[in-house]
Structure 1
Amino acid sequence: MNRCRLFTDGASRGNPGQAGAGAVLLTDQGEELATCSVYLGICTNNIAEYKALLIGLDEARRCGCTELAVFLDSELIVRQVQGRYKVKSEALLPLFHQVQKRLAAFNHWSIAHVPRMKNTRADQLANQGIDTAAA
């Protein structure tokens, strides 16, 4: 089994505003397997968070991860995916369903909230995504 850790972050400069997604995939031992930095166009921060998670989940599957521990600094998204909060936003609901479908492809997964200071690499990548569009 290939155990991995995934850190994702979405950023939006304005809400809605120019947005980016960042993801960092690590081995269970902490070695970096892959990174993603994507410009998302104009969207809200919560949509950017979901899109970053989706991008990261796709990368984890591509890299052969079968067990995945996911970490986000968005408490809202984490609690929605955990089923602790209901997804009320019609804009987020399709993204939530896509996340559920992708997570079902893993043998085992978990998701947890981390403080922003423990998610700095994914945050840098999300902002890099926005910066590439401005360049």
Structure 2
Amino acid sequence: MRKIIIFSDGGAIKNPGPAAAAFLFCNERKGIFKKFSKYIGEKTNNEAEYEAAILALLHLKKFLGKKLARVTEVELRSDSELLVNQMEGKYKILDKKLQPLFLKLWNLKLDFKKVKFKLISRKKNKEADKLVREILSSLDKKPSID
């Protein structure tokens, strides 16, 4: 049995505003073997957090293939209290924009043997946060055409 640890993060410059998502794949010894970050358009912070988790599971499934994904345990670590508690069934999904994202993430987790969502501090998620900030800061530096 294989276990993959994912650190995911999403953020927006304003809420809503230009947003980015990022994730890292690690083995159980916390050795990073894949990093990814992406601009995801205009989103709220909560939407960006969901998009990051969705992208992470999509990429992991593609990376492993369907067969290997089915026997892989995943621990998805996030500093989003809302995302983790909604995915663990502790919080209701009140924001209608989050409902389709929740369903997409819920269905994606079924492709793996087990997916556990774990709340971590921002301090412990600094690598993924750094990737998000790099994307967002690069948006600020692009010249505007008036």
Normalising by the smaller structure, the TM-score range is: over 0.9
Indicate the residue corresponding to 2:96 in structure 1: 90
Amino acid at match of 1:34: K
Indicate the residue corresponding to 2:77 in structure 1: 71
Q: Which has the higher contact order (CA 8 A, sep 6+)?
A: 1
**76-85 vs 53-62, which moves further:** 53-62
Indicate the residue corresponding to 2:16 in structure 1: 16
CA distance in 1: counterparts of 2:115 and 2:41, whole angstroms: 29
CA distance in 2: counterparts of 1:32 and 1:63, whole angstroms: 14
Indicate the residue corresponding to 2:136 in structure 1: 130
User: Is it true that 1:119 corresponds to 2:122 in the alignment?
Assistant: no
SS at match of 2:21: strand
Contact 1:80–1:87 (8 Å) recurs in 2: yes
Cα deviation for residue 48 of structure 1 reads 0.4
**27-36 vs 58-67, which moves further:** 58-67
Q: Structure 1 segments of 4 or more deviating over 6 A?
A: none
SS at match of 1:37: strand
SS at match of 1:20: strand
CA distance in 2: counterparts of 1:32 and 1:62, whole angstroms: 17
Contact 1:6–1:60 (8 Å) recurs in 2: no
CA distance in 1: counterparts of 2:29 and 2:46, whole angstroms: 30
TM-score (norm 1): 0.94
User: Is it true that 1:25 corresponds to 2:25 in the alignment?
Assistant: yes
Amino acid at match of 1:45: N
What is the total number of aligned residue pairs between the two structures?
Answer: 135
Amino acid at match of 1:19: A
Amino acid at match of 1:75: E
Larger Rg: 2
